Structure 1
Amino acid sequence: MDRRIEKSRQAIMDAFTKLMLEKDFEKITINEIAELANVNRGTVYSHYVDIFDLLNQCIENHLNKLFENCQPRGNDSSISGKDALCKTFNYLEQNAFFYSKMLMSKSITAFRNRLHALMVKSVEEQLDMNGITTDGNREIMVQYFASATIGVIEWWITNSMPYSSEYMAEQLLSLMERYQNVTAPLTRS
């Protein structure tokens, strides 16, 4: 992609993100985005269909970065579950303003839905990578872990991160391990 196009897209995305931190999504206009990004309205529309398209691409961009920064690459099983969770909480802490705004906004359900889909994918990959199988319904187990993890992340961010990212990773991992030990539905293949 042409550098100028990429630079314009990034400026628009940055301006939009900055405005999202300052005000509710419904009150942001394309004119404000263009002005802050130092581009004209037409440039915004040449990259995004409308403000909802910009929102969706912004969400996708942030969640892809979260996933890329926090997941092991390929068959790299040297990263433990705790390390992956620590990386996740560290990334969330570094980008707390964005994730806080997204999680606390009642009108932006697209973010929560995409986060949930990403978490489901992550849980499934962790189960596959670690060779974990279940005697019960795998789909229900994946949904349970994904929803519980999102709930813990949401609580942590919306309560101003009262514990360190390392502590949160340890606690979440401990809860997951206890679930396995208490219910015993998981066994190594």
Structure 2
Amino acid sequence: MPIKMDRRKKYTQMVLKESFLKLLNEKQLSSITVKELCQLADINRSTFYSHYADQYDLLSKMEEEIIEDMNKYLSECNFTKEDESEQVTEKLMEYIVKNKKVCQTLLCGNGDASFLEKVMLVAKENIKKNGFLGNHFNEDTADYWSTFIVSGGIYVIKNWLERGMDKTPREMALMINAFASSGMNMLKFH
């Protein structure tokens, strides 16, 4: 019996998330009501409230799942090796392809603007923690540089999503890493 409940719970959450994403693609978060979300998902409001406090809680949980997945991918690799950095970037691009709907909606659509900041923070911390910047900068400069690399990368990814993912994850990984590396090389010479 507990296995059935787990499946039912997972299914309910999946349906709610899919319905929520559909609504987020159509309108602003502040315009979405729990009532219309439940109607679209074809579930009772009491069922919704047994999983989430409100639509903001649902969005927050979805964002947390993505951040957790990103942290998992990033923590498994060492950024100090350039080829491994490309592999990590490619894995993240593949993750975005697999989760296209949610990534497109949260990064480019009507999602919470603070999500972009959360993604940037995760990426910046991983860049600094794994020594991608080397010993070329003091802490203050490293923070500025990691902000530059991450924000540029995220906006390249947003552009890629908005253009309908017109390049492969591998092509995007190579491009993003080339941009970051060329910037690093220019800075080393000055």
| TM-score, structure 2 normalization | 0.78
CA pair 152-75 structure 1, distance change in 2 beyond 3 A: closer
Q: How does 1:109-128 map to 2 (within 5 A)?
A: 109-127=113-131
| Equivalent residues, number | 182
CA pair 139-62 structure 1, distance change in 2 beyond 3 A: same
Q: How does 1:86-101 map to 2 (within 5 A)?
A: 86-101=90-105
Q: How does 1:41-120 map to 2 (within 5 A)?
A: 41-68=45-72, 70-73=73-76, 80-105=84-109, 108-120=112-124
Distance (whole Å) between structure 2 residues aligned to residue 32 and residue 49 of structure 1: 15
Alpha-carbon displacement from aligned partner over 1:64-98 (angstroms, at most 9, x marks no partner): 22333x32427798870011011111111222222
Give the secondary structure class of the aligned counterpart of 2:153: helix
Alpha-carbon displacement from aligned partner over 1:138-163 (angstroms, at most 9, x marks no partner): 21122121111112111111122222
Give the secondary structure class of the aligned counterpart of 2:135: strand
Distance (whole Å) between structure 2 residues aligned to residue 76 and residue 120 of structure 1: 12
Asked if structure 1 preserves the Cα contact closer than 8 Å seen for 2:34 and 2:55, the reply is yes
Q: How does 1:21-32 map to 2 (within 5 A)?
A: 21-32=25-36
Distance (whole Å) between structure 2 residues aligned to residue 46 and residue 106 of structure 1: 25
Corresponding residue for residue 140 of structure 1: 144
**Mind listing any 5+ residue stretches in structure 1 that lack a counterpart?**
none
Distance (whole Å) between structure 2 residues aligned to residue 110 and residue 102 of structure 1: 10
> Which residue, out of 14, 17, 20, partners 1:13?
17
Task: Give the deviation of 1:22 after TM superposition.
Answer: 4.6
Structure 2 residue identity aligned to 1:179? G
Distance (whole Å) between structure 2 residues aligned to residue 42 and residue 155 of structure 1: 39
Q: Cα RMSD over matched residues?
A: 2.9
